[in-house]
Amino acid sequence: MKKTIAPLLLVFILLQTSCSMFQRDPVYIAAEHGQPISVPEDLDRPDESSALNIPQGGDEKIAPAQNSEPPRVVSEVLANKGKRQDVAYLQLRNQILKLHVKVNQQSTINNMMHAISSASMDPEGTIDAQGQVTVAFEYNSAEKKKKGFFSKVFSSDSDDANPIETVIFEVRKLSDSSSVVVVLDDAGGLRSDAIAESALSALIPGLKEKL
């Protein structure tokens, strides 16, 4: 019986190892800037003076990423966290991450504490008159989800513990019938990193229950 189990165990370990070894990052991760296209001497370059007009920015400023892990791509955000026809969905546009809610600002404010509680977040007080509230929550990093078989087997309990992150939510008026929830940094700028995405995503189920 032992002679039969040993080869089977060896095959199982090899299969698990090969699965983690052949996981590759998406092609765009290794993308690099290439050389500009060369124009022959007997030809003129096109006029590129007005090829890209960058509009002036508004009052919103984008905060620098406070975490080394980048936000996920837009398609994954919309695919996994909600669609535009949903009552609450994430949108990443112009590198600004927002949680769109299809009710007015006051209704969203009224339902925020329920959504925070449903997401097992720890608020520091209640939401204020400006629609802001600071919360602490366990951040489940995407890097931990990518652990291979042996990394999971030999990791300690302390390695598996999720770090506690603190974020500031703010509910803003978008129109008379809709609003957005954003994450602020300490200077009042907008956060659009992976931690902000995780925090906003966690609010969606609780908001949908009340809307």
pLDDT (tens digit per residue) in 14-63:
666 655 555 566 666 667 777 777 777 777 766 666 666 666 655 555 55
pLDDT (tens digit per residue) in 99-124:
999 999 999 999 999 999 999 999 99
Domain that includes residue 166, residue range: 74-154+162-210
Residue 60 maps to a domain? no
Averaged confidence pLDDT in the chain: 75
Q: What pLDDT does residue 70 have? A: 47
CATH of the domain at 108: 3.30.310.170
Distances (CA, A) of 43 to 22, 35, 37, 149: 47, 19, 13, 58
Say which residue the tokens 């960058």 belong to.
54
Question: Which residue, 105, 102, 125, is CA-closest to 113?
Answer: 125
Q: What pLDDT does residue 51 have? A: 63
Q: What pLDDT does residue 109 have? A: 94
Residue 82 maps to a domain? yes
Residue 168 maps to a domain? yes
80 backbone dihedrals φ, ψ, rounded to 5°: -95, -25
Residue 16 maps to a domain? no
Distance, CA of 195 to CA of 66 (rounded, Å): 9
Give 192 or 21, the one with higher predicted confidence: 192
Question: Which residue, 71, 72, 74, 169, is CA-closest to 115?
Answer: 169
Residue 101 maps to a domain? yes
Give 156 or 167, the one with higher predicted confidence: 167
The total number of structural domains that make up the chain: 1
